[in-house]
Amino acid sequence: MKMKFVLFGLLAICTVFMAARPGNLLNDLYGSWTYVISDVPQEYQNGVMIFEEKDNNLVGFLGPDKSIPMKELETANGDVSFKLDFEGGEIKVKMVQKGDTLKGNLSTQHGEFPIVAVKQK
């Protein structure tokens, strides 16, 4: 009987931990992230992404002045994706969050480019 209780307790703890995990990743996303895009002109290589809460929803922007809003921002199991309107075209961004790092690709009409972002402390 004691062994069943211990096993049930461990199962309950694991279930709670796994259920809480996606929320923790979302909370870890909030804040400013410095990004680097490879293989693009120098003026587009570096910048800042900002993720914040507005009206109980996650919203995001590019630029320290929040000049470019993220559209269709979605997060699930560490995956982060969004679209941007930029210079008359659309940019699609897909990244994976691992701790304080986001890695992925940015797709434009000119091709696909690697992007890495690091959360600012």
Domain-by-domain residue ranges, the chain?
A: 2-119
What pTM was computed for the model? Answer: 0.74
What homologous superfamily is domain 2-119 in, according to CATH? Answer: Quinohemoprotein amine dehydrogenase alpha subunit, domain 2 (2.40.128.120)
Residue 59 has which token pair?
Answer: 């919203």
- In sequence order, the 6+-apart residues with CB closer than 8 A to the CB of 59 are 51, 52, 53, 69, 70, 73
Indicate the DSSP class of residue 72. E
Q: Quote the strand ranges of 1-121, DSSP E.
A: 31-37, 46-54, 57-62, 68-69, 71-76, 79-86, 89-98, 101-108, 111-119
pLDDT digit string (tens) for 95-110? 999 999 999 999 998 8
Per-residue pLDDT of the chain (121 residues; tens, 9 = 90+): 554 444 444 444 544 444 444 444 456 899 999 999 999 989 989 999 999 999 999 999 998 899 899 999 999 999 999 999 988 889 999 999 999 999 999 999 889 999 999 999 8
